[in-house]
């Protein structure tokens, strides 16, 4: 059935997961998807509701949030930056001159300029579904918020009725879409753009090429991973960045997603599991006193911890080039990129955590703090 797909429609939720990165700034996923659809001559479907929703979310994407946070950081260190000959005001001005929100929306509109825009279905059809609790409406929850989805889903159904030989791939992470379309003939479902890419093109021929350079990919991933910032999952740290003393690539996943395939190269996405050692200064709950009534700590103690078997997963994009006549011997890694949106989260087993000062006596200080508190 997958080979018969000749049309694709993508829900807003799937784009939000990919940060609405239509420019390919942090990941090549979205540009690769649209290039693939064009190469395979697959019809791109949309709806006026989707168009407006996507533009709205693009203007508030995680990528733009990063720029806002960057400007805040520049303002925070405004007095220090001149020491390295950087003008804070000029840097902020350059960031604002990027007008990245407008460029991202323009990139979206460029990909959709030839899309087939589905018409609105008749309102009475949607209201019939509303009163009958038919998906995406349900008896529980706020049904009215599902009206935009209902119009789009019904438009997809009507498209399939009018195009009796067509098969549509619907990409959405919204469970209401899945419920409403699960029994619809010739509608295939993917819960992410990654899964959609796997459905649209087989990775079967890519796996041998990937395996031929797997060790080299691991070396490149390690090189980049050593330069990244990390944070501990489940701990309240004093410092923003976790101090990492060693990094190893524990595993490179064989679950690969081809983004772009040509006769002499392949761009793919995979995941690497990292094994890390390091340390941090963290809040020590066992030696801190929490006041339930006031909802705050009366006494706060910190401790230094270390660990040797922390684990982290990071998304990677890899470009491999090769000679199609002899890919096993000719394949080489052209580039490796880690798609890191924020600090990489490190998870550690409690049994692996070593406290540097487990016997440090904070009880006297805690009692003094409590006595002073109750005295007032």
- The secondary structure element, H or E, covering residue 232 is strand 230-232
Q: How many CB atoms lie within 10 A of CB 208?
A: 11
Of 373, 315, 309, the residue nearest 344 (C-alpha) = 315
Superfamily of domain 2-200, CATH level 4: 5'-nuclease (3.40.50.1010)
Determine the Cα–Cα distance for residues 340 and 225; give it in Å rounded to an integer: 10
One DSSP character per residue, 17-51 reads HTTT-TT-SS-SHHHHHHHHHHHTTPEEEE-HHHH
More confident residue, 32 or 263: 32
pLDDT in tens, 275-302: 999 998 887 777 777 777 777 777 777 8
Task: Tell me the pLDDT tens digit for each residue of 61-107.
Answer: 988 888 888 888 888 888 888 888 888 899 989 988 989 999 999 99
Mention every residue, 6+ apart, whose C-beta is less than 8 A from residue 311.
250, 273, 274, 275, 276, 346, 347, 348
The residue ranges of every structural domain in the chain are 2-200, 206-375
Q: What is the pLDDT of residues 351-374, one digit of tens each?
A: 888 887 654 544 444 444 444 544
In 3D space, the residue among 184, 154, 147 whose CA is nearest the CA of residue 169 turns out to be 184
Tell the residue number behind the tokens 């890919």, with chain if given: 327
The position carrying tokens 């990492």 is 244
State residue 358 phi and psi, 5-degree precision: -65, -25
201 falls in which pLDDT band (50, 70, 90)? confident
Q: How many CB atoms lie within 10 A of CB 37?
A: 20
Q: Which of 324, 342, 322, 197 is nearest to 270 (CA)?
A: 197
CB of 168 closer than 8 Å to CB of 156: yes
């Amino acid at each position: 059935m997958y080979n018969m797909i000749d049309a694709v429609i993508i829900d807003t939720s799937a784009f939000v997961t990919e940060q609405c990165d239509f420019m390919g700034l942090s990941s090549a996923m979205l540009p690769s998807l649209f290039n693939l659809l064009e190469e395979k001559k697959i019809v791109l479907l949309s709806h006026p509701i989707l168009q407006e929703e996507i533009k709205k979310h693009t203007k508030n994407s995680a990528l733009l949030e990063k720029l806002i946070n960057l400007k805040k950081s520049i303002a925070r260190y405004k007095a220090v930056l001149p020491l390295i000959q950087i003008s804070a005001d000029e840097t902020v001005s350059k960031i604002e001159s990027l007008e990245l929100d407008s460029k991202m929306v323009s990139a979206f509109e460029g990909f959709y300029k030839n899309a087939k825009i589905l018409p609105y279905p008749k309102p009475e059809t949607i209201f019939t579904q509303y009163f009958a609790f038919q998906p995406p409406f349900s008896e529980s929850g706020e049904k009215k918020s599902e009206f935009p989805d209902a119009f789009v889903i019904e438009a997809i159904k009507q498209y399939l009725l009018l195009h009796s030989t067509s098969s549509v791939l619907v990409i959405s992470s919204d469970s209401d879409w899945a419920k409403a379309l699960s029994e619809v003939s010739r509608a295939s479902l993917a819960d992410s753009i990654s899964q959609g890419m796997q459905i649209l093109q087989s990775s079967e021929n890519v796996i041998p090429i990937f395996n031929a350079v797997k060790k080299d990919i691991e070396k490149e991933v390690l090189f980049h991973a050593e330069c990244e910032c990390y944070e501990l999952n489940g701990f309240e740290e004093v410092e923003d960045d976790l101090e990492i003393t060693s990094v190893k690539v524990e595993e490179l996943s064989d679950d690969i997603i081809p983004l772009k395939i040509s006769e002499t190269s392949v761009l793919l996405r995979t995941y690497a599991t990292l094994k890390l050692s390091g340390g941090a200064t963290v809040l020590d709950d066992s030696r801190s006193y929490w006041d339930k009534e006031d909802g705050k700590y009366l006494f706060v103690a910190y401790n230094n911890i270390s660990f040797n078997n922390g684990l982290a997963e990071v998304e990677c994009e890899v470009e491999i080039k090769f000679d199609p006549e002899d890919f096993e011997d000719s394949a080489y890694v052209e580039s490796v990129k880690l798609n890191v949106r924020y600090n990489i989260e490190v998870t550690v087993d409690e049994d692996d955590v070593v406290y540097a000062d487990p016997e440090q006596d904070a009880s006297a200080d805690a009692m003094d703090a409590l006595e002073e508190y109750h005295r007032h």
